[in-house]
Amino acid sequence: MRLFILFFMIHELLFGALTFATNHQKEIDILKSFDIDSSFLYDKELEKIIKDNRKIYKTKHFFKAMDDAYLFIPMIKNILSNSDVPSEFLFLAMTESYFSTKAYSQKRASGLWQFMPETGRIYGLEINEYIDERRDLVKSTAAAVKYLEKEHKRFGKWYLAALSYNCGGGRVARAIKRAGTDDLSVLLDPKKRYLPKESRRYIRKIIALALLGTDESFLVESEYEFLLNRANAYSVAAVEVQKGESISRIAKILEMPKKDILKLNRQLKYDFVPPNKDKYTIYIPHVKLSQFKQNYKPSNIEQVYVVYRVKSGDSLYKIGKRYGVPYRLIKDFNHLKSNRLSLRQKLIIPVSRPNALKGGRYTVKRGDTLQSIAHTYKLSIKQLKQINHLKGDMIRIGEKLAVYD
């Protein structure tokens, strides 16, 4: 049933109520949205992928992989509808991650849209000790839209933007130059190999998923045909909380399991929001928004959490003294069996707010630059400037900078 609900939801979001239009016409419309000629419907490899995926969708593995999809589809569709990117690019996200914000590849790509760290940062996604915004369902989708719009402007066709998303704009440009055309059927020639095999399959899979999502005969195979008469959506609201806020406290206020809030906020590496930002945006079910507004009040949190990486010469005692925390508390909080520490080991330290920046402040000395300080504390210059709300690159001798090491 879950599979049917998922595909029905996609179908409704893309096309609204069922119409008298033929399924064939809908298939042609799908191809047009990618700037692909209708003749591509008869591509043998595409037909094979559609057939294979019909079988895959009936497996337990697929059910498990798509378990949280209903949480994200409406939000993705909403962001796409407010951009120039066709709504059918929803299926690019499905191809990349099966709508899983926790998806992670061997190549270090992460999130719904499988951004690599470097590309994610280029498109404004923050990745640091506390958060990885490649897993942020809203920000990562906005970044993907920005990338796709840029590539469409470059190549003029949406299928080329999709191919670029997989193998890079440079690779696509070289393929077009070698082929002497941007015609899709030519670029996908398996003998000429203008594009990598993975990319040739990639564009076909996106189209196959889009076609299956509009195939009424496939949808009504289920005994739950009555669901075709109603829409199915899950709405998410963005709310601001204070720095260092605990997700456990939010869960208590909203009277819902903490794990359900964390599902919507996979960008958080821990179950608290970054302590180095004045405010931070998290996502909650829209049905809980009124409850949040009525009951959430920023409090004088006595305790925040700092992530500390062990350096040469550190001991639990020294770290505890630096942050004004008993070393036994650090040991217990991190479930350490002994006092022995490893270089670069991560420790979560519960710190009283007045001491939250102890050990995380650097006093500027003669000859220092933002670049040298950022390098010392393994931060980017952008991160260092953001942490300290600096607009320019000028710093003064004696100035104290937060480094959150």
Q: Residues with catalytic annotation?
A: 96
CA distances from 211 to 19, 57, 60 (A): 16, 14, 22
Render 228-282 in DSSP notation, one character per residue.
GGS-----EEEEEEETT-BHHHHHHHHTS-HHHHHHHTTTBSSSB--TTSSEEEE
CB neighbourhood size of 40 (10 A): 19
Burial of residue 174 (number of CB atoms within 10 Å: 0-12, 13-18, 19+)? middle
| Structure tokens that stand for 233 in this block | 């959506």
Provide CB contacts within 8 A for 231, sequence distance 6+.
Answer: 9, 12
Beta strands 400-402 and 303-309: pairing type? unpaired
**CA 361 to CA 373: how far, in whole Å?**
11
Report, in angstroms and rounded to the nearest whole number, the Rg of the chain calculated over CA atoms: 25
Render 137-150 in DSSP notation, one character per residue.
HHHHHHHHHHHHHH
